[in-house]
Amino acid sequence: MKRVFLDNAATTPISPSIISMMSDMMANHFANPSSSHYFGRESKNIVEQSRKKIAKLINTSPGSIFFTSGGTESDNMAIQCSIANLGISHAITSKLSHHAVLYPLEEFESKGLVKLSYVNTDKNGVVSLDHLDELLSINDRTFVSIMHANNEIGTIQDIKKIGDICFKYDAVFHSDTVQTVGHYNFNLQELNIHFLAASAHKFHGPKGIGFIYISDDIEIKPLMLGGSQERNMRPGTENIYGIAALAMAMEEAYSNLEKDIIYIKSIKSYMIEKIKLEIPGSIFYANSEKMEESLYTVLTVSFPETEKSEMFLFNLDIMGIACSGGSACASGVSKGSHVLNEIISNAKRPGVRFSFSKHNTTEEIDYTVSKIKSLYSK
Ligand code: PLP
């Protein structure tokens, strides 16, 4: 059966050059970077060269990059360490944040350690800058966590403007950039940002490796204890293969960025036009249809109600199409996406997120749309 992978916001296939680099490294470099002998120094060098490459790509100093197990850990580190170490008594996020942000913040709130406010968002998920300003003006030292781009509906926030507002109130600003690092250019010299989070598997690297950027003016203690790795910030023997792969995936992503953006945008546009033509009545959630206001890798669609609405994703999976999302009703699971449930007005319409990579083709889109259309034929 033909299989189409349109779930690249969940994860991306690993680049073949990275797989071969990693297997070569696994065969030839096994030493612990903390060992002082030749083998250890070699491993340490791999870690530090990788850190330098990454820092250069986002225009910051290597000292502000710390390797972690990925986005969830980086988000948790920023949140938990800020609240524990920076005299934070108030936190602001949006209801559309990833659970890696919402759950730790809600946990701190439930323990009475922080007051949690949710900044208003419009019907497309865009944060109200006026409301953010207002929330910051009436509270004590605040931690703000606003994701750069939403993984489910693709909405992009202006993190330059948000950072400037946070700066005005001396707030600590964290942005979950897991969906945008490797897909958009970053110049950290131009952003008022204290923490950002990245994860290699979102841009053709392996799972279980990522980094957190911590700006030089922030002093926090480590989240975990047990070793002096990562300059005392993140204990545990370094995942040297993952670290080298993360750096390589970032280099590959940024060296082909302009070309890949043009190509992936063309795939997304093609799918938008095809859906409009073949499945009238479809609505594009949030700003998903607008290329500059949403992730070019994500298209979130509300399809017209059908008797197959309940098992829409299941039906697509049976026909070989991998995608995700969906309201409680449409996905066939008991609890739907907290993001779509926040945005959707009619839960009976199936909500589906398609997410693209450079590997997708227009033929795959033709196949996908024809199969969706078949769900509407009697
Ligand atoms: N934040 C966002 C926006 C994500 O899309 C993801 C991944 O799904 C994460 C955080 C978690 O990243 P990881 O899978 O590396 O823990």
Amino acid 194: pLDDT: 98
Q: Does 74 contact ligand 1 (Cβ within 6 A)?
A: no
Contacts of 356 (CB under 8 A, 6+ apart): 6, 8, 264, 267, 268, 296, 297, 298, 299
pLDDT in tens, 164-178: 999 999 999 999 999
| Residue 46 backbone dihedrals phi, psi, to 5 degrees | -60, -45
Spacing, Cα 9 to ligand 1 middle (Å): 9
Q: Does 70 contact ligand 1 (Cβ within 6 A)?
A: yes
pLDDT band at 286 (very low <50, low <70, confident <90, very high): confident
User: Residue 306 in 3-state DSSP?
Assistant: coil
Do residues 356 and 6 lie in contact, with contact meaning Cβ atoms separated by under 8 Å? yes
Amino acid 38: pLDDT: 97
Q: Does 55 contact ligand 1 (Cβ within 6 A)?
A: no
Residue in 294, 272, 269 with CA at minimum distance from that of residue 283 = 272
Cα angle for residues 188, 192, 194 (degrees, 5° grid) = 80
Q: Does 209 contact ligand 1 (Cβ within 6 A)?
A: no
Domains of the chain: 4-13+257-374 (3.90.1150.10), 16-255 (3.40.640.10)
Burial 161-179 (b: 16+ CB within 10 A, else e): ebbebbeebebbbbbbbbb
Beta bridge partners of 67: 211
Amino acid 332: pLDDT: 44
Q: What residue's CA is closest to ligand 1, atom 2?
A: 178
Spacing, Cα 99 to ligand 1 middle (Å): 9
pLDDT in tens, 297-338: 999 999 999 887 778 899 999 999 999 975 333 344 446 678
Q: What is the DSSP string of 46-69?
A: HHHHHHHHHHHHTTS-GGGEEEES
166 carries an active-site annotation: no
Counting from 1 in the atom list of ligand 1, the atom nearest the Cα of 207 is 15
Counting from 1 in the atom list of ligand 1, the atom nearest the Cα of 70 is 15
Burial 192-224 (b: 16+ CB within 10 A, else e): bbbbbbbbbbbbbbbeebbbbbbbeebebebbe
pLDDT in tens, 103-155: 999 999 999 999 999 999 999 999 999 999 999 998 789 999 999 999 999 99
Do residues 294 and 153 lie in contact, with contact meaning Cβ atoms separated by under 8 Å? yes
What is the pLDDT of the chain when averaged over all its residues? 94
Q: Does 98 contact ligand 1 (Cβ within 6 A)?
A: yes
Residue type, 70: G
Q: How far apart are CA 212 and CA 76, in angstroms?
A: 10
pLDDT band at 179 (very low <50, low <70, confident <90, very high): very high
| Statement: residue 341 has pLDDT above 90 | no
Sign of CA dihedral 341, 345, 351, 354: negative
